Amino acid sequence: MSSKEIVSREDIFETLKTGKVDYVRVEFVDLLGNTRGKSLRRAEFEEVLNGKGVEFAEGLVVLDYADVPLFSSYYDVIAVPDLSTFKIIPYLERTARVLSYLTTLEGAMHELCVRSALRNVLKKLEERNLSLYSAFEPTFYLVKQAGDGTIRPADDAKAFSPEGLWDQQEFLKNLIKYLELLDVKVSSINKHYGPGQYELKFSLSSPIESADQLISSREVIRDLARSYGMLATFMPKPFSEQVSSSMDVYLSFHRGKDSVMLDPTDPKGHSLSQIGYNILAGIVHHLHAIMAFAAPTVNSYRRFKEKVVPNRGGVGHERHFVIRLTSPFKESGLFEFRLADPLANPYLFLASVVASAIDGIENNMDIEIEKDVTYLPETLEEAINALKQDSVIVRSLGNALVDAYIKLKKRELDAYTNYVSEWEIRTYLKAGW
C-alpha cells in the first residue's frame, strides 16, 4: 500500500489488521540528518496510534557522527508519527516505517525537531501566499570494503557510460523498484563521474515530502547495497584521487500553480520577476550561513578545488555558479542550488534557503545576474561562524536548534584538528634527521 493511500489512523489500523505488517519502525531525523528510531510490534504500534507517541532520550537528537550525545544530561522527547509517511518496506518481511515530528512531554513542538523547523519556516512562506517545490539529486559511491577497512570503488566504469549501468544493473533496477514502491519518484539515474559513483534525480514535490524522500532513499540505497555485498557511502569525498559526490537541489517558488519567478518582459533579459530577483538575492546574501547546512562536514570542503565544482557565489546560467538558472528556466522558473552534498540535513538546508528567500522579499533585495558574486567559505569553520552571525537564519530555525548544531560542528572540528593523520606520520616522522 502506498503512502498516498494511507492518510488516516483508520487506514493504518485497517492495514495492520490484514496481517501484512508485524513490525513498525518509528523513526525521526536528528540534527546531523541521520535517522534514529525503534521497531515496535504491531500491537505496540497500535497503542502508539491511540496514545501520544514514542518516548526517546533527548540526547539521541544531538548525537555526533561517533554517536556521542552533545548533552551530559537530558530529558525525554516524544516522536509523534506523521501518518502520511507510513510505508511498508518492500524488501523486509512484514515491516513498515513511519517518520515523526518530535514534541515535548506536554505535547508542544520540540525545539530540536528538524522537520518542525522546516514546517515552521514554510508557514511563513504560506503567509505570503507563496509555496515551494523542491527536488534533490544526490550522488553516492558504491564501494567494496576489505577486511582492514580500506575501500575501493565497486566498479571501474567511465563517467556517464552505459558500462556502469550494465555493471550495476541488478542493483539499480531493484533500487528504482523499491523507491517507487515507497512513493519516491525517480526522474533519472545515471553513472556519474567517478568509478562506482551513481546519481539519482527525484521529481519535484513539496519541501517536507522531498526531504522525506531523500531520507528514505538513503535508507534503501544503504540496505540494498549491503544485500549485494557492497557499501554505499554518501561521504562527499571518500577518495582523494576521485571526483567527489555532490547533491544538486532544484527549487521553484510558486503562487498557486504559477511560478512567481518569471516575467518575460524583464528588461535585463533574464525573464526574472521582481520577486524572483528578491528571492535569489536573499539566498546569495545568506549563502555563507546556508553553506553550514549545505556542506556540513570537514570532508565537504575537500570538494571545492575540483574543476567540476561550482566556485562562483552568485547567480548565473553557467554551471560554475552556485545558483544556476536552468536551461528551461524561462518556461518553468526552476533554478538549481549546486553546492550541497549528500550528507546535508535536507530539512535544515531547505529551511535556511526559504528563510533567506523570505528575507530577500521583505527587504526588496536585488542582484545582478552573473555579475554580483560573493566569496565562498573555504572551511567548515568559516561556514559555521557565518551561521552563528546570521540573525535571520538563527531566528527562523530557532536559537536552540542552531546553537546545538553549531556545538556539534565545533566538536567535529576539534576532533579533526587534534587528529594526527597517517599522512602526517609518513611525511614528518623522519624529518630533521
Residues in contact with 83: Cβ distance below 8 Å, sequence separation at least 6, in sequence order? 6, 7, 8, 9, 11, 12, 98
Cβ atoms of 396 and 339 closer than 8 Å: no
Across all residues in the chain, what is the average pLDDT? 93
Cα separation, 226 vs 149, whole angstroms? 15
Grid coordinates representing 190 are 545515471
Cβ atoms of 370 and 320 closer than 8 Å: no
Give the pTM: 0.95
Residue 105 burial (CB count, 10 A):
13
Q: 3-class DSSP state for residue 275?
A: helix
Taking only the tens of pLDDT, the chain with its 433 residues reads: 443 444 577 888 888 888 889 999 999 999 999 999 999 999 999 999 888 899 999 999 999 999 999 987 788 999 999 999 999 999 999 999 999 999 999 999 999 999 999 999 999 999 999 999 999 999 999 999 888 889 999 999 899 988 888 889 999 999 999 999 999 999 999 999 999 999 999 999 999 999 999 999 999 999 999 999 999 999 999 999 999 999 999 999 999 989 999 999 999 999 999 999 999 999 999 999 999 999 999 999 999 888 888 999 999 999 999 999 998 899 999 999 999 999 999 999 999 999 999 999 999 999 999 999 999 999 999 999 999 999 999 999 999 999 999 999 999 999 999 999 999 999 999 999 8
pLDDT digits (tens, 9 = 90+) for 99-135: 999 999 999 999 999 999 999 999 999 999 999 999 9
Cα separation, 308 vs 292, whole angstroms? 21
- Percent of the chain at pLDDT > 90 equals 85
Main-chain dihedrals φ then ψ at residue 96, nearest 5 degrees: -125, 170
pLDDT digits (tens, 9 = 90+) for 347-382: 999 999 999 999 999 999 999 999 999 999 999 999
Phi and psi based region of residue 114 (left: phi greater than 0; alpha: psi -120 to 50; beta: remaining): alpha
User: Which residues lie across from 212 on neighbouring strands?
Assistant: none
Dihedral sign, Cα of residue 31, residue 306, residue 134, residue 212: negative
User: Letter for the amino acid at 428?
Assistant: Y
pLDDT digits (tens, 9 = 90+) for 281-324: 999 999 999 999 999 999 999 998 888 889 999 999 999 999 99
The total number of residues written for the chain in this structure? 433
Q: Domains (ranges, CATH) in the chain? A: 9-112 (3.10.20.70), 121-397 (3.30.590.10)
Cα separation, 385 vs 390, whole angstroms? 9
SS percent in the chain: helix, strand, coil, step 5? 40, 25, 35
Q: How many CA atoms lie within 13 A of 228 on its CB side?
A: 23
